[in-house]
């Protein structure tokens, strides 16, 4: 599995929220959002993704215990998914 697209997907979500409206599929209508600031919080692998997003999309980014040295810890994503 390729996780390289996750940061771009998270950035896209932030951009959609910035626009100020979303379409509610369940209610069949557009919802107006009044969002002043967008914070992104990620922990563990999510923190690693948070460190790689487009920084101008989010007002603040918090990375809690990011895993940043994959080779040093001999972690292979495919091995984790097989367990």
Give per-residue pLDDT as tens, 18-31: 998 888 888 889 98
pLDDT at 83 over 50: no
Vertex 2: Cα angle to 69 and 55 (nearest 5): 65
Confidence of residue 38 (pLDDT cuts 50, 70, 90): very high
Tokens of residue 52, six digits = 């790689």
pTM over cut 0.95: no
Using a pLDDT cut of 90, give the percent of the chain over it. 31
């Amino acid at each position: 599995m390729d996780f390289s697209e996750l940061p771009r997907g998270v950035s896209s979500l932030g951009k959609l929220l910035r626009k100020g409206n979303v379409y509610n599929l369940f209610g069949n209508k557009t919802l107006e959002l009044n969002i002043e600031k967008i914070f992104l919080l990620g922990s563990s692998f999510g923190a690693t993704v948070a460190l790689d997003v487009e920084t101008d999309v989010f007002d603040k980014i918090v990375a809690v215990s990011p895993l940043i040295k994959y080779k040093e810890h001999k972690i292979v994503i495919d091995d984790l998914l097989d367990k």
